[in-house]
């Protein structure tokens, strides 16, 4: 009896004094573990006479229950104390200034695409999309490229190995113009997403942003780059509509009426007539500057959709006309934000991204301002 009382008092005191979870666990094992002092007393019940067991059983079981409850309560108190200490150590002082550098940034190309989409959406254009891996038909044939056109050659186009069964060579699209074909062609296949405007009937006004690929690399060319295609199909469309749309776009994009542009006659198989538009800029320093200087930078190819393209997509050129354009998105970014070398845009240098990147909260809208 006495040793029960003494054991109870000893354990109770030591549990209350246990400074951490490790010390508490040691006491638990010492008392309630297989070889523990309380467990030993419980085991001794088996050797007692029924009367003795009747008297001692409740005492020993009571001790076991009391010690177990004390340990649980002490563990909870220690847990709570540990949590309080952790919370106090990790408290954030909201009155401190924010860290000087933000961690993530929106890549200028993505920002420029959003700016472009905002402007064209304001003019009634929807967004269309197509795959990066294309077939010869959509990238070339339907766009009226003659069979031996140089752009089909290996030095421009990244081709995949021919399919062993069909012999078909798929390719990485060299421009976003195949999205014109995918938009014009009637298709029963569902659009990739409800907001993607493929497989439409005229009148049509779409822009198609995306990645494009060519085997080319210097200060103004990278093997992967971005274009934004535009396509308008309606009745009675002419070059005047094209020129107005591009001029309007340029002055809104550069947010100044003083941008000087020029149209040069050009050749594209899928437009007739075709042109390229340049903006005047200064490339004498380390940055490209818009609105000054005597240099020109080509930013968009354009023209009236060739009747063969309309025919290839099942439209009657007597009834429908249209214009199309294809912007180099990265180049627009270089011009607007003064980046000197296109290759740096895709070098994944965090210092570059920190310098030229945009806050994710700076969503461009025509109403709130583009940049």
Q: Does 301 bind ligand DAH (CB under 6 A)?
A: yes
CB-based burial label for 144 (10 Å; 0-12, 13-18, 19+): buried
**What mask, x for binding ligand DAH by CB under 6 A, covers residues 41 to 80?**
----------------------------------------
Q: Mask of contacts with ligand DAH, 109-128, x by CB under 6 A?
A: --------------------
- Residue count of the chain, please give it: 371
Pairing relation of β-strands 204-213 and 126-127?
parallel
User: Does the protein bind ligand DAH through residue 145 (CB under 6 A)?
Assistant: no
- Rounded CA Rg of the chain: 37
Stretch that binds ligand DAH, among 18-26, 64-72, 103-111, 296-304 (CB under 6 A): 296-304
Nearest Cα residue to 233 out of 260, 211, 200: 200
Interface mask (CB under 6 A) for ligand DAH, residues 238-277, using x and -?
------------------------------x--x--x---
**3-state DSSP call for residue 40?**
helix
Question: Strand 204-213 relative to strand 224-234: parallel, antiparallel, unpaired?
Answer: antiparallel
Minimum separation from the CB atom of position 211 to ligand DAH (A): 12
Closest approach, Cβ 315 to ligand DAH, in A, equals 16
Residues 236-250, buried b or exposed e (16+ Cβ, 10 A)?
ebeeebbbebbeebb
> In the complex, what is the shortest distance from the CB of residue 202 to ligand DAH, in angstroms, rounded to a whole number?
16
For ligand DAH, which is the closer residue by CB, 323 or 356?
Answer: 323
Nearer to ligand DAH, 24 or 329 (CB): 329
Q: Quick check: bond before 315 cis, omega within 30?
A: no
Site for ligand DAH contains 324 (CB under 6 A):
yes
């Amino acid at each position: 009896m006495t040793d029960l009382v003494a054991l109870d008092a000893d354990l109770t005191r030591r549990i209350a004094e246990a400074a951490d979870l490790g010390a508490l666990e040691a006491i638990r094992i010492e008392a309630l573990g297989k070889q523990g002092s309380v467990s030993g007393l419980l085991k001794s019940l088996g050797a007692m006479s029924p009367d003795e067991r009747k008297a001692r059983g409740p005492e020993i079981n009571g001790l076991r229950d009391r010690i177990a409850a004390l340990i649980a309560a002490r563990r909870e108190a220690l847990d709570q104390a540990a949590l309080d200490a952790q919370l106090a150590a990790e408290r954030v002082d909201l009155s401190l200034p924010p860290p000087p550098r933000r961690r993530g940034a929106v890549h200028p190309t993505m920002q420029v695409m959003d700016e472009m989409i905002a402007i064209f959406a304001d003019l009634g254009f929807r967004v269309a999309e197509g795959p990066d891996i294309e077939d010869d038909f959509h990238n070339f044939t339907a766009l009226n490229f003659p069979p031996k056109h140089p752009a089909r050659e290996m030095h421009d186009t990244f081709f995949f190995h021919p399919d062993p069964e069909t012999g078909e060579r798929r390719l990485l699209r060299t421009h976003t113009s195949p999205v014109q074909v995918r938009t014009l062609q009637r298709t029963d296949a569902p659009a990739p997403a409800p907001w993607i405007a493929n497989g439409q009937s005229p009148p049509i006004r779409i822009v198609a942003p995306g990645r494009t690929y060519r085997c080319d690399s210097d200060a103004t060319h990278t093997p992967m780059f971005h274009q934004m295609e535009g396509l308008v199909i309606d009745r009675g469309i002419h070059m005047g509509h094209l020129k107005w749309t591009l001029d309007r776009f340029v002055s809104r994009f550069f947010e100044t009426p003083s941008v000087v542009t020029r149209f040069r006659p050009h050749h594209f198989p899928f437009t007739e007539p075709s042109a390229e538009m340049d903006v005047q800029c200064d490339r004498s320093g380390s940055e490209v500057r818009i609105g000054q200087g005597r240099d020109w930078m080509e930013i968009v190819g354009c023209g009236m959709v060739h009747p063969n393209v309309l025919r290839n997509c099942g439209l009657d050129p007597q009834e429908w006309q249209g214009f199309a354009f294809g912007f180099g998105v990265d180049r627009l970014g270089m011009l607007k934000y003064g980046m000197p070398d296109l290759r740096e845009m895709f070098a994944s240098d965090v210092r570059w991204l920190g310098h030229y990147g945009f806050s994710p909260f700076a969503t461009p809208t025509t109403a709130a301002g583009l940049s």
